[in-house]
Amino acid sequence: MSSAGDAGRVAELAQSVVAEHDPKQVPVTEFLGACYDAGLSWVHFPVGLGGLGLSRGLQSVADRVLQGAGGPVPLGLNPMGYGMAAPTVREHAQTDDLKRFFLRPLATTEDIWCQLFSEPGAGSDLAGLATSAVRDGDEWIVNGQKVWTSLAHKARWGLLLARTDPDAPKHKGLTYFVLDMHAAGVQCRPLRQMTGQAEFNEVYITEARVPDAHRLGAVGDGWRVAMTTLMNERSALGASGNRRGSGAIADAVQLWASRPELHTPVLRDRLTRLWLRAEAQRLTSERARATATAGGPGPEGSIGKMVGAELNQRIYEFCMDFLGPEGILYHSYAMHGANEGGDWRGPIQQRYLRSRANTIEGGTSEVMRNILGERVLGLPGDLRADAGMPWKQVPRG
Amino acid sequence: MAEFAFDDEQLQLRAAVRRFAADNFGEAAARRLMESEEVFDVAVWRRLGSELGVLGMSVPEAAGGVGGSLVDQAVAVEEFGAALAGGPLFGTVYLAIPALAACPAGPARDELLGALIEGQRTAAFAVADIAGTFDPDRVAVTVEEGTLTGTAGRVVDATAADVILVAARGSDGVGLYAVDAGDTERTPLVTMDLSRPQADVTFDRAPARLLAGPDDTGRVITHALQVGAALLAIEQIGAAQHLLDLSVEYAKSRLQFGRQIGSFQAIKHRLADMLVDLEHARSTAYHAVWALTDGSDDPALAASIAQATCSAAFSRIAADTIQVHGGIGFTWEHQAHLYFKRAATDAALLGSAEQHRSRVAELVLDNAVAHSGAVMVATGRP
């Protein structure tokens, strides 16, 4: 079978990268640059753009070797870059030179990326967003406000969805750009969340200029381009670790094992249910990976995103109930700036609070169920009050 | 054979079994059997063995099988489950054939196994399990001078069986025996699921052939129960997929308030949850089959994960199917209740979801080791 031969070739390439650029010795940027040059950043991308033109499923072969030798998990270092920007740029950037210009520094993590989609007035109804981009010769002038932007303060580039035609129905008047986060008129402010920390930012965009060359996809085609990004976001969020018992469930099992004096039969059964749900989802992710094709992620990524989010909440709810009165203490509400202070996940109580966002960020669980119902099962859409209406006439508030 | 990846031959097998099931099984055939005196269609069963060769696919060639794998067998069983296939699948295919395949070779074993695989004869497995596991201390049938005496209660497929496999205690321990059904007294029971009949079986100095002695019996029966649990899980996902398809079609075609009911989020989200439960169940069932095929996981844990997940999923999907269909789903004429009763039956057989969950807890939680500093709990002191 050719896929077995391809797997061998991927493993060999990964082994030679590791041999020539020992990830335990060389800087991360050099190691990830070597991976990119060998086509191992995204094996399903074309040759010359960080890929080998192979099946997407073979990425795990490369990652096993690279990460097994101590290499970093790039999705952790540049999550929006690897998870969302790379597939969008690869598919929609205007020239191969531009693709290379963006992708290699993205792959090395020299350029961090962020995503400028959500707005205070456009969450689940993302296509209703109001940030405007107006053409001015070879450039566009952008005005608006974005919210829930992680890594905006560290990012060199932002994936921007903006309205270029307010007279068109909402989905038709959007265009997709790459915004230079260092450009004049782009300002980031930390946004404090219920954990006390500020993991995200608000981004204020005032008369910022974007060259037309940095437009991804056609004018008015931004929604379709954004779908590439969102499907990748959901499958990235949904792809859990592939070791049994890893991830959030490990916290609960460790907590259980460390405090035998708190055990009760009722709590034991509750934890077993959570463990089984986590295991069933892990096997489902493995199955999706095993049957993945060279094409993009399918809607089954929505299953992982939704289940993972709801499971996280139930796991940390369990931890709180397990701890009882101990659980209602906290470590500190001192305000941290975004990404200060190391581990974002922090103690159990912080993870418990943080998990409330899981069923909202990256698509609410309600939206996820609509996607599963409509795109996987083929059920009819709900009635829409704004169908066909020019965006500027849609009631907002 | 990479886990979760079915090869081309398996895809062809699936298509062939699906065609056969469409012609010979399904709601109409199930109702016909429910209302007739015959327990199953002997001619159809023989064709499953001789024409399709799908009754003992994982039996090695050395034991008289076709040398396929349990994955092949699972492909066929999934289609049987979807079509509510009639006949002694549970007794013969899920339990007796795997048990015989694990028995030491010998004339009694070889002759019976061959006949079961060919569909010439059928069998029931009268070994009472305790939540899907074998407890030799509970064996109540005794053996004396080559004859068995005692009773085995609630034996699935006993009425359809030519041969009863049963564990019995002799002076040297517990062995596994084959008894011709004609040499026993069978009392048929009215079962909730009429397509999965049971009978009490009484042995009164019934002539018996030894299949496995005391040294082998525990291993043989444990293997059969694990394979049976995995194949039952596969049947459950086949049936659950059929119900989800049925519910989705109904939600698209049924109009209320001038709209397809599937456009209401209350219905759509319920169907989405059914899909998630089904996909989870499918992953655990396939994993159990692969674990038993290639030894990649502890078979006891993999089987319990599958049974805990698939029993709960099929039961919930069957209940939700009735709910999505509304009043019509509660009628005798609609097929939903046939599957609902099968779901309740499958959930109870070879261990309930709760019993398997309990086993998972024993295997996973009760011996979990705490790593120091692995989890941080805030103490109120910054």
> Closest to B3 (Cβ–Cβ): which among A290, A347, A369?
A290
Q: Is the pLDDT of residue A174 over 60?
A: yes
Residue A47: C-alpha distances to residues A40, A82, B311 (Å): 10, 17, 47
Other Cβ atoms less than 10 A from the Cβ of A89: the count is 25
Domain membership flag for residue B94: no
Structural domain contains residue B185? no
Query: Residue B132: inside a domain, yes or no?
Result: no
Q: Which helix (H) or strand (E) holds A307?
A: helix A301-323
* pLDDT value of position B373: 75
According to DSSP, the residues that pair with A59 across neighbouring strands are: none
> Is B121 domain-assigned?
no
Alpha-carbon A60 to chain mean position: 18
Q: Was domain A2-108 assigned CATH 1.10.540?
A: yes
Count structural domains, chain B: 1
Nearest-angstrom CA–CA distance, A281 and A46: 31
ipTM field: 0.96
Looking at per-residue pLDDT, the higher value among B318 and A345 belongs to B318
CB atoms A272 and B360 under 8 Å? yes
Predicted local distance difference test score (pLDDT) of residue B67? 86
Does the structure show a pLDDT above 90 at B48?
yes
The residue among A234, A246, A283, A375 with the most chain B CBs within 10 A of its CB, best to mutate, is A283
pLDDT band of A302, cuts 50, 70, 90: confident
Q: What positions of A carry a catalytic annotation?
A: 233
Q: Is A82 a residue whose pLDDT tops 70?
A: yes
pLDDT band at A228 (very low <50, low <70, confident <90, very high): confident
The rounded Cα A308 to chain-centroid distance in angstroms is 14
Q: Which CATH number fits domain A239-376: 3.30.465.10, 1.10.3720.10, 3.40.50.970, 1.20.140.10?
A: 1.20.140.10
Give the CATH number, domain containing residue B226. Answer: 1.20.140.10
Is B357's CB within 8 Å of A369's CB? no
Query: Does A293 score more than 80 pLDDT?
Result: no
Interchain proximity B252–A256, CB inside 8 Å: no
Residue A338 pLDDT = 46
Q: Which helix (H) or strand (E) holds A208?
A: strand A200-211
Residue A190 has pLDDT above 80, yes or no: yes
DSSP notation for B276-321: HHHHHHHHHHHHHHHHHHH--S-HHHHHHHHHHHHHHHHHHHHHHH
Res. A237: pLDDT tops 90: no
pLDDT score for A300: 62
**Nearest residue in B to A273, CA atom:** B357
Class of the domain covering A113-226:
mainly beta
Quick check: A379 and B358 CB within 8 A?
no
DSSP E strands in chain B: the ranges are 123-125, 142-144, 147-156, 163-170, 173-180, 185-189, 198-207, 209-212, 255-256, 259-260
State the first-to-last Cα distance of chain A, in angstroms, to the nearest integer: 57
Residues near A329 by beta carbon (within 8 Å), at least 6 away in sequence: A349, B378, B379, B380
What is the pLDDT, as a whole number, of residue A232?
Answer: 64
A318 pLDDT higher than 90: yes
Q: Which of A253, A280, A306 sits opposite B309 (nearest CB)?
A: A280
Burial code of B203-242, b = ≥16 C-beta within 10 A, e = fewer? Answer: beebebbbbbbeeebbebbbbbbbbbbbbbbbbbbbbbbb
Owning domain of residue B290: 218-365
pTM of structure: 0.91
In chain A, what are the domain boundaries?
A: 2-108, 113-226, 239-376
Looking at residues A306-330, what average pLDDT do you find? 97
CB atoms within 10 A of CB A341: 11
Name the residue among A108, A103, A102, A95 with its Cα closest to residue A45.
Answer: A103
Tokens read off for B162: 């030519």
> Is B151 contained in some domain?
no
In a domain, B305, yes or no: yes
- Radius of gyration (C-alpha) of chain A in whole angstroms: 22
